[in-house]
Amino acid sequence: MPISNPKHPNLKTFAHPVIQDKLTRIRNHKTKHAEFRRLLNEIAGLMFFQMSRHFKVDEIPVQTPVEESVGFKLANPITLVPILRAGVGMTDGVLAMIPEARVGHIGVFRDEETKQPVPYYCKLPSDISRGPVLLIDPMLATGGSASYAAKILHEEHNCQEIQMMCLVAAPEGVDRMYQEHPYLKIFTASLDRGLNENGYILPGLGDAGDRIFGTL
């Protein structure tokens, strides 16, 4: 079960030993991109399993080989929305758990001089507001990109059930998300110490996108 944080009411952290073991290996600077991707997707799948425990279900009849019984199905479509490009690196891990989920994309990058989000792409299901939305990005640093994406989902597409999944988060980004999107819950494997002068998470794990795609 994820642990609540008394200083950050919008944050839940996974202290599960298997997740923490994999996170430690991801942080290691010697971990190559192939293993990095594999570990990242494994963590994403483990996190989603817990995050989805409150999704609504409908009761339906089911005919087993022996008799008719009663079962359950998810009541509403689930949409994954990775923030390009690094968010894509966690999506397959979630799709392995729920392959019927739809996948939208929001493209936004951080201007390294201004630290402000710069949008460049957005493609989402037209009925995305019908069900839960999972916003995905491995790193929640300043919160600029995540806040922009959440605004698109909530204000422009009327999404009411939004959760965010990230691998590591900085307090600065968590606080910004709470100030600008207090309805949104953030799930992470680690709340790290903070940001350096360049806006990178400490201790962090480097540039997630470069480590996922081998573009170091």
CA–CA dist 134, 52 (Å, integer)? 10
CA–CA dist 167, 90 (Å, integer)? 9
The residues annotated as belonging to the active site are 110, 114, 207, 210
Coil, strand, or helix at residue 17?
A: helix
Whether the pTM exceeds 0.85: the reply is yes
CA–CA dist 154, 214 (Å, integer)? 33
Chain-centroid distance, C-alpha 196: 23
Q: What tens digit of pLDDT does each residue of 105-135 get?
A: 999 877 777 767 788 899 999 999 999 999 9
Q: Count the Cβ atoms, other than its own, within 10 Å of residue 216.
A: 10
Report cis status (omega within 30 of 0) of the bond before 203.
yes
Domains of the chain, earliest start first: 3-58+72-213 (3.40.50.2020)
The set of residues, in sequence order, having a beta carbon less than 8 Å from that of 146 and lying 6+ positions away, is 83, 135, 137, 140, 164, 166, 173, 177
Q: What tens digit of pLDDT does each residue of 48-103 get?
A: 999 998 999 999 999 999 999 999 999 999 999 999 888 999 999 999 999 999 99
